[in-house]
């Protein structure tokens, strides 16, 4: 496989998110986010880790942009911390926060690296959570205001905009299982959070375009390849449920302007969605987008579980079990299945045949070992990347409109509930010194990008 197997216009980059790398959570007028609060809840995060310092990117922008340039990256997907811009989630933009992202974008452009900004990667201003967070419909409107403000200020230096990252996680990890901020467990009502997130996305799309007419705007969904463990009816129904809650509950409204009725029924939320999702909401949610971002990591094989023993704490899928197929897994326990990347591209393409698709995240956590000479020989991560790039190439050969690929992640960082115990970077970070060292996977990717893969 060579880079020249891909179209010249193919976008090659890496991705990060604000709370995971920036640190400086209380600097220059930034307000608290739900992750600042949640990371202080005893037992919420491995080892009591927080994003207070993270990998200190806020103070190391020059070094980090130089690192990207050295690796040969041509695009960088980062997220903008809403509480840096609006410390209380409303009101005028904080000049220092806006200045930080302007500086970052300008430095990227100077190095020929295209900025891709995500407006919401999970760090809701705590002040908005205090008013109900994503369970409160008003948060969607506050998000659109924030999106317009940022696009107005930074639209001249940021060409590509992603409204939300993985709204499934915000809704169901945040408000159902409670393993992510804000750590609430409201059962099936967590679907209301999903709806308000999607409404926020739909309102933000025209708001961004109004403020920055040249902007390309999309959303990023985490999609899974799902299959039933057997042909039996109960297992197929389990697959339908997991595919419904994980994939279709987000793809359908964004791309088709409707909710999957079976999922709404599984959730027992028909009445709420009948009132709340007036035609106008779905019309807003399905605002035409310029691309769809897909984060792909793994495949799920599922079967029906016992009604006496709920296995998954997600509403409507309580009696579904994940099956261990025996396939290799990463340190996260996620099955490695590169062809699933093609499945999720096909899924989206079937619904929106004209829409360009980007893999906005793909990567793996492994226990990295620093060798005697200081190098990190992460052959498994390099294999993971290579195998998923091969899947990307196959997808393109099959005519799927895949237009770019972003590795998760540029460097090791705060992996949410796992704290710093899981490393996804192609660049190793020594958390004691903040020294960055490209791993073998990063050096391989760099050679690949330079045409010597």
Q: Between 286 and 364, whose beta carbon lies closer to ligand IFM?
A: 364
User: Residue 419 to residues 49, 118, 169, 414: CA-CA distances in angstroms?
Assistant: 5, 21, 16, 5
Tell me which residues in 194-223 interact with ligand IFM (CB under 6 A).
Answer: none
Tell me which residues in 422-441 interact with ligand IFM (CB under 6 A).
Answer: 424
- Applying CB under 6 A, among 82, 168, 408, 448 the residue interacting with ligand IFM is 408
Specify which residues 411 forms β-bridges with. 427
- Strand segments (E) across 16-89: 75-79
User: Residue 41 to residues 19, 35, 130: CA-CA distances in angstroms?
Assistant: 17, 10, 16
Judge whether 22 counts as a catalytic residue.
no
Could you please report the per-residue DSSP string of 322-337? E---S--B-TT-PBP-
**C-beta of 424: minimal distance to ligand IFM in Å?**
6
Q: Between 223 and 238, whose beta carbon lies closer to ligand IFM?
A: 223
- Collapse the DSSP code of 389 into the 3-class scheme (helix H, G, I; strand E, B; otherwise coil) and give the result: helix
Reading the block at residue 227, the tokens are: 């299959």
**C-beta of 276: minimal distance to ligand IFM in Å?**
27
Q: Between 66 and 332, whose beta carbon lies closer to ligand IFM?
A: 332
Q: Between 81 and 148, whose beta carbon lies closer to ligand IFM?
A: 81
Q: Between 10 and 418, whose beta carbon lies closer to ligand IFM?
A: 418
Reading the block at residue 164, the tokens are: 């939300």
The answer to whether 14 contacts ligand IFM (rule: CB under 6 A) is no
CA quadruple 265, 270, 274, 280: dihedral sign: negative
Q: Between 17 and 347, whose beta carbon lies closer to ligand IFM?
A: 17
The answer to whether 415 contacts ligand IFM (rule: CB under 6 A) is yes
Cβ–Cβ < 8 Å for 115, 160: yes
**C-beta of 5: minimal distance to ligand IFM in Å?**
26
Cβ–Cβ < 8 Å for 389, 12: no
CA quadruple 351, 301, 178, 185: dihedral sign: positive
d(CA 105, CA 157) in angstroms, rounded, equals 6
Peptide bond into 409 cis (omega under 30): yes
Judge whether 321 counts as a catalytic residue.
no
The answer to whether 295 contacts ligand IFM (rule: CB under 6 A) is yes
**Antiparallel, parallel or unpaired: β 427-430 and 435-438:** antiparallel
Q: Between 358 and 424, whose beta carbon lies closer to ligand IFM?
A: 424
Q: Between 267 and 411, whose beta carbon lies closer to ligand IFM?
A: 411
- Applying CB under 6 A, among 17, 65, 113, 157 the residue interacting with ligand IFM is 17
13 phi/psi in degrees, rounded to 5: -155, -170
**C-beta of 415: minimal distance to ligand IFM in Å?**
5
- Applying CB under 6 A, among 64, 129, 335, 361 the residue interacting with ligand IFM is 361
Reading the block at residue 34, the tokens are: 């739900």
User: Which residue among 22, 129, 361, 415 is the active-site one?
Assistant: 361
User: Which residue among 129, 153, 166, 335 is the active-site one?
Assistant: 166
**C-beta of 436: minimal distance to ligand IFM in Å?**
18
The answer to whether 335 contacts ligand IFM (rule: CB under 6 A) is no
**C-beta of 187: minimal distance to ligand IFM in Å?**
24
d(CA 422, CA 309) in angstroms, rounded, equals 29
**C-beta of 193: minimal distance to ligand IFM in Å?**
17
Peptide bond into 124 cis (omega under 30): no
**C-beta of 52: minimal distance to ligand IFM in Å?**
17
**C-beta of 213: minimal distance to ligand IFM in Å?**
30
Reading the block at residue 293, the tokens are: 């971002």
- Nearest C-alpha neighbor of 286 from the set 330, 320, 256: 256
Tell me which residues in 166-185 interact with ligand IFM (CB under 6 A).
Answer: 166
Residue number, nearest CB to ligand IFM? 17
| Class of residue 403 by CB neighbours under 10 A (exposed 0-12, middle 13-18, buried 19+) | middle
User: Residue 350 to residues 38, 71, 256, 344, 449: CA-CA distances in angstroms?
Assistant: 39, 35, 11, 10, 30
Classify 12 in phi/psi space as left (phi over 0), alpha (psi -120 to 50) or beta: beta
d(CA 239, CA 259) in angstroms, rounded, equals 18
Number of residues binding to ligand IFM, judged by CB under 6 A = 8
Q: Between 155 and 404, whose beta carbon lies closer to ligand IFM?
A: 404
Instruction: Please count the other Cβ atoms lying within 10 Å of the Cβ belonging to residue 346.
Output: 15
The answer to whether 359 contacts ligand IFM (rule: CB under 6 A) is no
Contact residues: ligand IFM, CB under 6 A: 17, 20, 166, 295, 361, 408, 415, 424
Task: Kindly list the catalytic residues.
Answer: 166, 361
């Amino acid at each position: 496989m060579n880079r020249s197997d891909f179209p010249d216009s193919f976008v090659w980059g890496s991705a990060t998110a604000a709370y995971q790398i920036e640190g400086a959570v209380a600097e220059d007028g930034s307000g608290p986010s739900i992750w600042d609060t949640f990371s202080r809840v005893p037992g919420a995060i491995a080892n009591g880790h927080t994003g207070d310092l993270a990998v200190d990117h806020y103070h190391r922008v020059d070094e980090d942009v130089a690192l990207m340039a050295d690796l040969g990256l041509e695009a960088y997907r980062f997220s903008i911390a809403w509480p840096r811009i609006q410390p209380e989630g409303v009101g005028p933009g904080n000049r220092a926060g806006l200045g930080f992202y302007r500086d970052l974008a300008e430095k990227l452009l100077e190095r020929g690296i295209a900025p891709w900004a995500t407006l919401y990667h999970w760090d809701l201003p705590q002040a908005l959570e205090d008013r109900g967070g994503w369970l409160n419909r008003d948060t969607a409107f506050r998000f659109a205001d924030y999106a317009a403000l940022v696009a107005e200020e930074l639209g001249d230096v940021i060409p590509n905009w992603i409204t939300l990252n993985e709204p499934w996680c915000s809704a169901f990890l945040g408000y159902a299982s409670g393993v992510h901020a804000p750590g609430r467990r409201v059962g099936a009502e967590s679907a209301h959070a999903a709806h308000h997130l999607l409404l926020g996305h739909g309102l933000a799309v025209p708001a961004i375009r109004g403020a920055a007419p040249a902007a390309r705007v999309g959303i990023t969904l985490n999609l899974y390849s799902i299959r039933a463990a057997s042909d039996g009816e109960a297992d197929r129904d389990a697959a339908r449920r997991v595919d419904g809650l994980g994939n279709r509950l987000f793809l359908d409204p964004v791309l088709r302007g409707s909710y999957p009725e079976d999922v709404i029924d599984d959730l027992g939320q028909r009445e709420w969605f009948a009132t709340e999702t007036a035609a106008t909401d779905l019309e807003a949610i399905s605002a035409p987008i310029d691309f769809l971002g897909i984060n792909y990591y793994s495949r799920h094989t599922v079967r029906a579980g016992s009604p006496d023993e709920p296995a998954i704490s997600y509403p409507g899928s309580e009696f579904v079990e994940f099956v261990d197929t025996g396939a290799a897994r990463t340190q996260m326990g996620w099955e490695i299945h590169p062809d699933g990347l093609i499945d999720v591209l096909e899924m989206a393409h079937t619904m929106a045949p004209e829409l360009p698709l980007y893999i906005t995240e793909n990567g793996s956590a492994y226990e990295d070992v620093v060798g005697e000479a200081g190098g990190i020989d992460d052959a498994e991560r390099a294999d993971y990347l290579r195998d998923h790039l091969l899947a990307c190439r196959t997808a393109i050969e099959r005519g799927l409109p895949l237009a770019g690929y972003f590795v998760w992640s540029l460097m090791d960082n705060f992996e949410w509930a796992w704290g710093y115990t899981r490393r996804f970077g192609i660049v190793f970070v020594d958390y004691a010194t903040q020294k960055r060292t490209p791993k073998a996977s990063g050096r391989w990717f760099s050679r690949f990008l330079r045409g010597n893969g």
